[in-house]
């Protein structure tokens, strides 16, 4: 054999092939929470009566997100006040790895549906959400999110479409969904629509107040509210501050005027976005903002005494892994394994009366059926 061929084969075997077979190492990111926040111990209420349920969804939040956020905050989270913990299996009807459309529909309506569907079953038939069922029993219902309202999670609770990308059609469903309080972004598709409809005017004709600034939301003391102060998503946590907590508590105070009780869904919407973009810094900012909102909501629920708080996720996003860090310094070193969602059971935390029902391992749909039973819907 020619010497050059021998050299070529030697090169191929010793350098080229091993290099090709190796998975490229994904880079790690380091994050330090400069100013840790304080966390209090909240005593859960002693009674067993359940008048209200608050379902809090961290979009794309897995145990890894929670543990990373816990480490960065020097070993404390408001979430740690929860009394019971379970695990939820998130796969959807036609895919192992779900999206927010199908993942949220399982939570809002109790059925596994197809990937990218919102509020409909696998045949495209509209499903009744916990919001609708609460209304049918004379209770109030509401939602507070940091994303645009046509995004999948809020839409899962109020809208019906086989395709989450039919955004114009999805937002139009809000006019007839009957909820008592909505806070979020997405004003852009409520007005100046290609079909000529002005959804703000339509909501007003149905008796809704439609404040467009937080200052105007604050002035409202009673009645039905559709508060959409932002054109698309709400600003980043550093700009919006504790807006999600404020908007949530405002909703709770308004809904609580109904003596029969209420159901409310609160979402930390943008954990998912920064999981997709593999941005650890922003992901932790959103996770901590969601945790602080959980703290405010838990304090409200503990004072009320008849409110169950359930905190969960619809799926994991980013394949987040904590690979190193320092608990004392609040430093975390993480890697992401994907820009998409990943397949893992997500945690379910519960606080307040009825929380014992949420321990165990179950399908995501069970969260709906448990809440439905406990609220007697
Ligand atoms: Zn999601």
pLDDT digits (tens, 9 = 90+) for 137-186: 999 999 999 999 999 999 999 999 999 999 999 999 999 999 999 999 99
Q: What are the tokens at 185?
A: 């972004």
* Separation of CA 103 and ligand 1 centre (Å): 7
* Separation of CA 36 and ligand 1 centre (Å): 27
Query: For 40-52, what is the mean pLDDT?
Result: 96
| Number of other CB atoms surrounding residue 178 within 10 Å | 15
**pLDDT tens, position by position, 266-300:** 999 999 999 999 999 999 999 999 999 999 999 99
* Separation of CA 221 and ligand 1 centre (Å): 32
* Separation of CA 18 and ligand 1 centre (Å): 38
Decide if pLDDT at 18 tops 60.
Answer: no
DSSP letter for 16, please: I
Q: What are the tokens at 30?
A: 């380091």
* Separation of CA 268 and ligand 1 centre (Å): 10
* Separation of CA 151 and ligand 1 centre (Å): 9
Position of tokens 């061929």? Answer: 5
Query: For 20-25, what is the mean pLDDT?
Result: 58
Query: For 59-74, what is the mean pLDDT?
Result: 98
* Separation of CA 316 and ligand 1 centre (Å): 8
- Confidence band of 15 (pLDDT split at 50, 70, 90): low
CB contact at 8 A, 6 and 14:
no
User: How high is the pLDDT of residue 320?
Assistant: 98
CB burial class (10 A; 0-12, 13-18, 19+) of residue 96? Answer: exposed
* Separation of CA 223 and ligand 1 centre (Å): 30
**Cα–Cα distance, 6 to 268 (Å, whole number):** 60
CB contact at 8 A, 305 and 90:
no
Q: Which residues contact 153 (CB under 8 A, 6 or more apart)?
A: 57, 59, 100, 104, 145, 147, 265, 267, 269, 314
Strand bridging mode 331-335 / 262-268: unpaired
* Separation of CA 232 and ligand 1 centre (Å): 17
Strand order in the sheet with 346-351: 225-230, 181-185, 140-148, 262-268, 52-58, 307-312, 346-351, 84-89, 360-363
- Confidence band of 2 (pLDDT split at 50, 70, 90): low
27-374: CATH number:
3.40.720.10
* Separation of CA 266 and ligand 1 centre (Å): 13
Q: What are the tokens at 153?
A: 């999670």
* Separation of CA 153 and ligand 1 centre (Å): 7
Q: Which residues contact 291 (CB under 8 A, 6 or more apart)?
A: 69, 73, 77, 78, 79
* Separation of CA 331 and ligand 1 centre (Å): 26
Q: What are the tokens at 358?
A: 């949420």
Q: What are the tokens at 327?
A: 């608990």
* Separation of CA 328 and ligand 1 centre (Å): 31
Any bridge partners for residue 225, and if so which? 181, 209
Q: What angle do CA 365, 228, 133 make, to 5 degrees?
A: 30
Question: Domain map of the chain by residue range?
Answer: 27-374
* Separation of CA 335 and ligand 1 centre (Å): 20
Between 271 and 18, the more confident residue is: 271
Q: What angle do CA 52, 122, 147 make, to 5 degrees?
A: 50
Q: Return contacts of 163-167, CB within 8 angstroms, 24+ apart.
A: 163/116, 163/117, 164/99, 164/100, 164/101, 164/116, 164/117, 164/118, 165/116
Query: For 195-219, what is the mean pLDDT?
Result: 97
**Distances from the Cα of 170 to the Cαs of 15, 39, 123, 162, 203, in angstroms?**
54, 38, 17, 10, 15
* Separation of CA 53 and ligand 1 centre (Å): 21
**Cα–Cα distance, 351 to 368 (Å, whole number):** 16
Q: What are the tokens at 241?
A: 């501050």
Q: Which of 24, 26, 21, 87 is nearest to 318 (CA)?
A: 26
* Separation of CA 201 and ligand 1 centre (Å): 30
Q: Which helix (H) or strand (E) holds 325?
A: strand 321-326
**Distances from the Cα of 192 to the Cαs of 188, 196, 201, 253, in angstroms?**
7, 7, 12, 32
User: How high is the pLDDT of residue 26?
Assistant: 78
* Separation of CA 139 and ligand 1 centre (Å): 27
**pLDDT tens, position by position, 324-340:** 999 999 999 999 999 99
* Separation of CA 171 and ligand 1 centre (Å): 18
Helix, strand, or coil (residue 131) = helix
* Separation of CA 95 and ligand 1 centre (Å): 14
Query: For 1-25, what is the mean pLDDT?
Result: 62
């Amino acid at each position: 054999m020619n010497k050059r061929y021998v050299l070529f084969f030697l090169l191929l075997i010793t350098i080229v092939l091993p290099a090709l077979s190796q998975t490229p190492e994904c880079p790690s990111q380091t994050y330090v929470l400069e100013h840790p926040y304080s966390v209090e111990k909240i005593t859960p209420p002693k009674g067993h009566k359940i008048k209200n349920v608050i379902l809090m969804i961290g979009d794309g939040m897995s145990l890894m997100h929670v543990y990373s956020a816990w480490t960065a905050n020097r070993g404390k989270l408001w979430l740690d006040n929860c009394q019971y913990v379970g695990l939820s299996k998130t796969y959807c009807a036609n895919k192992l790895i779900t999206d927010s459309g199908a993942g949220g529909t399982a939570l809002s309506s109790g059925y596994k549906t197809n990937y990218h569907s919102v509020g409909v079953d696998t045949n495209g038939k509209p499903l009744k959400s916990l919001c609708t069922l609460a209304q049918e029993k004379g209770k109030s219902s509401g939602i507070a999110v940091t994303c645009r309202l046509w995004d999948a999670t809020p839409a899962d609770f109020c809208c019906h479409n086989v395709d989450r990308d039919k955004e114009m059609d999805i937002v139009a469903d809000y006019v007839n969904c009957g909820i008592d309080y909505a806070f979020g972004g997405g004003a852009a598709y409520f007005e100046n629509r290609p079909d000529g409809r002005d959804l703000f005017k339509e909501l007003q004709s149905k008796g809704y107040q439609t404040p467009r600034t937080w200052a105007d939301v604050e002035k409202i003391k009673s009645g039905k509210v559709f508060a959409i102060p932002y054109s698309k998503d709400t600003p980043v946590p550093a700009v919006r501050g504790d807006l999600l907590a404020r908007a949530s508590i405002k909703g709770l105070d308004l809904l609580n005027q109904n003596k029969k009780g209420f159901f409310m869904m609160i979402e930390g919407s943008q954990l998912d976005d920064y999981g997709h973009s593999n941005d650890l810094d922003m992901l932790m900012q959103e996770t901590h903002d969601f945790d602080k909102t959980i703290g405010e909501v838990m304090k409200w629920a503990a004072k009320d005494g008849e409110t169950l708080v359930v905190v969960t996720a619809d799926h994991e996003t980013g394949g987040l892994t904590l690979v190193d860090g320092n608990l004392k310094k609040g430093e975390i070193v993480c890697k992401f394994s994907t820009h998409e969602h990943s397949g893992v059971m997500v945690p379910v935390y519960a606080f307040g009366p009825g929380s014992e029902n949420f321990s165990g391992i179950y399908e995501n749909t069970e969260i709906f059926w448990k809440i439905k039973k406990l609220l007697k819907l």
